[in-house]
Structure 1
Amino acid sequence: MDDLAFTVRPGAVTGFLGPNGAGKTTTLRMLLGLTRPTAGRALVGDRPYTSYERPGTVVGAALEASSFHPGRTGLGHLEVFAPQVGVSKQRCRQVLEAVGLDHAAKQRVGKYSLGMRQRLGLATALLADPPVIVLDEPTNGLDPEGIVWIRRLLRQFAAEGRTVLVSSHLLREVEASVDDVVVIAQGRLRHASTLAELRTRATPAAYVETPRPDALATLAADRGWTVQPDGDGTLVDGANAAEVGAAAHAAGLELHELVRRDVDLEALFFELTRPEEAR
């Protein structure tokens, strides 16, 4: 990591984003005291994670979906951790049910699918009902239904006032559930803001159908927009639908269809994380 600094606020879901190898897991390990930084500090509240008497009651974390004893059952795994965070065996059953693993409570973890192990990791993180949740690539291995489920769960955590930090190497996987974004690449901070603020940095676009595409191209060039064919119409980059409509109206250009295209956050994400030597 290279002088990386950011803050995660309570009551929100923060997406910690970057390509594979960007340093996301290393950063999370530093936060949890598993890796010691050569300089600087990683704090939970105003204290290092390891300074808490029972850190598992403060931060619930799931960093790897493979750090389970394959011979233990799902319930047995949780019961090992229960005394460390001061909860009962009944609580173990409750969190298994909450993550949809109650049917596999007595099944050995070695036979769990990757998606099931992800759910078990989340159950472990939730065991002490902590105010801070840290999840590393939680959608990895989940089917589409499971991805929708985790998104709703993250939103629920934030609505309860918890601090939620979730990493991913793909913005589109977390776009529907995050409030804030922190983007890193090559161990350096590239962007930190709310998701809404990030959207303002993305290039707007509009889909247009007109009987005079050449006139549309000229109109776009005069305003610094770019155009490219898109099916039966034209994609105008650099302007939203309202701007294109107003310009066409002023120029007397007939339009048959004008549709807003959502900003391409994924393209912006790849631009932000592109190696500096290639920028």
Structure 2
Amino acid sequence: MSIEFRGLSKSFGGVQAVSDLTFEVAPGRVTGFLGPNGSGKTTTLRMLMGLVTPDAGTALVGGRPYAEHPHPARVVGASLEASFHPGRTARGHLRTLAPHVGVPAARVDEVLAQVGLSAAADRKVGGFSLGMRQRLALATTLLGDPDVLVLDEPANGLDPAGIIWLRDLLRFLASEGRTVLVSSHVLAEVQATVDDVVVIAQGRLVHASSLAEMVRLADSHVRVCGPDLAALATVAQEQGWRVDRRGDHLRISGASAAQVGAAAFAAGQAVHELTEVGANLEETFLQLVSGESVAAEKTQEVAA
């Protein structure tokens, strides 16, 4: 069941929070919804869930608005700014919601086990750490066994082991054919989790593709050190490669380490260091959201 945003726009008091946003989230994949704080991610998700009315455009789940599904909580599990009564236990919180979602009480213990909270089921939520609250929020989204999961910053507050656990769970849920949309303002936080990426800045789409395609956009380069950097730079420029001098080394783009080494050898130039530096996704992400670089091949739809 896919999620579709078509021409979605919303302003608050003259401030344009979301502007003509169009993209699709495919089932069976984990999609990272990325952008800096204040970029419009939460407003977009709230419009999807019917909590905010758009000025223009549509946000659809399985071809219809969330509220038009007969049992919406069993279609979409969403965690947006989750809050809990501090005096309730984790089990009590979920048991209160179960009749509204339309699931039996037995489902409560199933989801508590799924998120690793069985041992804390009868503890009051007021004593939970932020990471435990995140797990309870995820249990709430899973209560109706939905086909679609919408999670706003789910890794916030999780320790490294918790982040690995979350990554494995989300990938498992996607492998079952569910649609998983995860928002974050930090690419590194979701890089090992997602299949697709959608990047917005100032309420506008700046990039949408598979993660693999975004990796290809990243700027890999060769780091070169030697006794005569000026001569090495000339050699590289004669080959048509891009050269940036960075203090005690050169950064050469458009060639492999082997090509740079061969050109230096042919020109009789000594090289003390020749290192191929992998794709820097974080730098590419920051360029996208700052407006310094927008991929010309950005798409309006994430490939299935």
Q: Establish whether TM, by shorter chain, passes 0.5.
A: yes
Asked whether 1:138 is paired with 2:157, we answer no
Give the SS at the match of 2:181.
Answer: strand
| Structure 2 gap ranges (5+) | 1-17, 293-304
State which drifts further: 243-252 or 159-168: 243-252
2:242 corresponds to which of 200, 216, 224: 224
In structure 2, what is the equivalent of residue 148 of structure 1? 164
In structure 2, what is the equivalent of residue 85 of structure 1? 101
State which drifts further: 233-242 or 118-127: 233-242
Report sequence identity in percent: 60
Number of aligned residues: 273
In structure 2, what is the equivalent of residue 122 of structure 1? 138
Alpha-carbon shift at residue 247 of structure 1 (Å): 3.4
Letter in 2 for 1:169: H
In structure 2, what is the equivalent of residue 20 of structure 1? 37
Alpha-carbon shift at residue 220 of structure 1 (Å): 3.0
Q: Distance in 1 between matches of 2:266 and 2:196?
A: 39
Give the SS at the match of 1:7.
Answer: strand
Q: Which deviations, in whole Å up to 9, do the C-alpha atoms of 1:105-136 show, x marking residues without a partner?
A: 11111111111111100011111221111110
Letter in 1 for 2:97: F
Q: TM-score, normalised by structure 1?
A: 0.90
In structure 2, what is the equivalent of residue 59 of structure 1? 76
Give the SS at the match of 1:34.
Answer: coil
1:184 corresponds to which of 200, 208, 214: 200
Q: Which deviations, in whole Å up to 9, do the C-alpha atoms of 1:52-108 show, x marking residues without a partner?
A: 11111111111124x111111111111111112222222211111111111111111
User: Cα gap change, 1:210/1:160 in structure 2, threshold over 3 Å: closer, same or farther?
Assistant: farther
Q: TM-score, normalised by structure 2?
A: 0.83
| Structure 1 gap ranges (5+) | none
Structural RMSD (CA): 2.0
Give the SS at the match of 2:61.
Answer: coil
Give the SS at the match of 1:142.
Answer: coil
Alpha-carbon shift at residue 2 of structure 1 (Å): 0.6
Letter in 1 for 2:113: E
Q: Distance in 2 between matches of 1:182 and 1:76?
A: 36
Asked whether 1:161 is paired with 2:177, we answer yes
State which drifts further: 79-88 or 44-53: 79-88
CA contact (8 A) 2:117 2:135 kept: yes
Give the SS at the match of 1:4.
Answer: strand
In structure 2, what is the equivalent of residue 273 of structure 1? 289
User: Cα gap change, 1:108/1:234 in structure 2, threshold over 3 Å: closer, same or farther?
Assistant: same
User: Cα gap change, 1:266/1:254 in structure 2, threshold over 3 Å: closer, same or farther?
Assistant: same
Higher share in strand: 2
Give the SS at the match of 2:20.
Answer: coil
Q: Distance in 2 between matches of 1:48 and 1:2?
A: 19
Q: Distance in 2 between matches of 1:246 and 1:24?
A: 47
CA contact (8 A) 1:18 1:183 kept: yes
CA contact (8 A) 1:220 1:226 kept: no
Asked whether 1:31 is paired with 2:48, we answer yes
In structure 2, what is the equivalent of residue 94 of structure 1? 110
1:202 corresponds to which of 202, 218, 227: 218
Letter in 1 for 2:33: F
Higher share in helix: 1
User: Cα gap change, 1:136/1:243 in structure 2, threshold over 3 Å: closer, same or farther?
Assistant: farther
Alpha-carbon shift at residue 240 of structure 1 (Å): 4.0
CA contact (8 A) 1:226 1:238 kept: no
Give the SS at the match of 1:35.
Answer: coil
Q: Distance in 1 between matches of 2:256 and 2:99?
A: 56
Give the SS at the match of 2:200.
Answer: strand
Q: Distance in 1 between matches of 2:102 and 2:256?
A: 55
Q: Distance in 2 between matches of 1:202 and 1:115?
A: 32
CA contact (8 A) 2:35 2:199 kept: yes
